[in-house]
């Protein structure tokens, strides 16, 4: 029997309708919703010939398992945008930009990272299988559709994957508040990957040792660190700034 993932909320459902409507089994819509936004979604689903069921809000609450659904939930097949890093690197023209997340287990953080990665032009996000959250319904909702556009690769051995990237001439830049240099001293015009750790413990020792370079984000205030999704945005947009310049 097929296993389907839950997509909750307008952004997650409409993004899947746009990028891969054939993967959607069915959509459940709150029967009390008659507003224009819902009507637009219904029309989009009708055009793609996706089954729609009108149900009460309690049914939606059960399907979404407590995740904020905004009156719409879809059941869809899991999509895999890429199988491994070679799938990504082999099709990229020009310098590669990757985001590696070590030990990021909060789905809200991952969703925000995927959303920023999509906006900044990241080619893939990479995380270890044993120290990361998967693409669950919360991630899909927070990512606002980015989970359907940015490959999210969960690898068995992160350090080994990082070494494979180095063999493909991808420069690995890790972030730590103990580094001497700042992110503004990084040459971000080459193929590179930003390596981020979860707030608190940061990167694991082996992950940090496998990086080519360690840098820090300058902090002028009293807080010691930034949320990992905010730190990722700062670093990714420094890359975007350099490449645009």
Q: Which residues are annotated as a binding site?
A: 197, 217, 226
> Residue 52: in which H helix or E strand, if any?
strand 51-55
Is residue 67 within 8 Å of 94, Cβ to Cβ? no
For residues 111 and 183, give the distance between their C-alpha atoms in angstroms, rounded to a whole number.
23
For residues 227 and 118, give the distance between their C-alpha atoms in angstroms, rounded to a whole number.
18
Give ∠ CA 64-111-19 in degrees, rounded to 5.
Answer: 75
Known binding-site residues for S-adenosyl-L-methionine equal 197, 217, 226
Is residue 193 within 8 Å of 98, Cβ to Cβ? yes
């Amino acid at each position: 029997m097929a296993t389907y993932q839950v997509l909750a909320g307008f952004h997650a459902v409409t993004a899947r309708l746009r990028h891969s409507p054939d993967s959607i089994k069915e959509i459940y819509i709150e029967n009390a919703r008659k507003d224009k936004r819902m009507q637009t979604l219904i029309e989009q689903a009708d055009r793609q010939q996706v089954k729609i069921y009108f149900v009460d809000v309690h049914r939606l609450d059960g399907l979404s398992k407590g995740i904020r659904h905004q009156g719409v939930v879809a059941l869809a097949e899991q999509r895999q945008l890429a199988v491994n890093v070679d799938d990504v690197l082999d099709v990229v023209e020009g310098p590669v930009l990757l985001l590696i997340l070590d030990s990021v287990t909060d789905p809200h953080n991952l969703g925000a990272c995927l959303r920023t990665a999509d906006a900044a032009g990241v080619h893939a996000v990479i995380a270890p299988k044993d120290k990361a959250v998967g693409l669950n319904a919360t991630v899909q909702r927070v990512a606002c559709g980015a989970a359907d556009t940015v490959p999210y690769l969960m690898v068995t051995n992160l350090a080994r994957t990082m070494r494979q990237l180095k063999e493909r001439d991808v420069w690995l830049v890790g972030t730590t508040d103990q580094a001497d240099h700042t992110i503004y001293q990084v040459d971000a015009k080459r193929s590179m990957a930003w390596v981020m750790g979860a707030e608190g413990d940061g990167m694991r020792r082996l992950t940090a040792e496998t990086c080519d370079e360690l840098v820090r984000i300058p902090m002028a205030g009293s807080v010691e660190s930034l949320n990992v999704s905010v730190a990722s945005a700062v670093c990714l947009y420094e890359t975007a700034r350099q490449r645009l310049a």
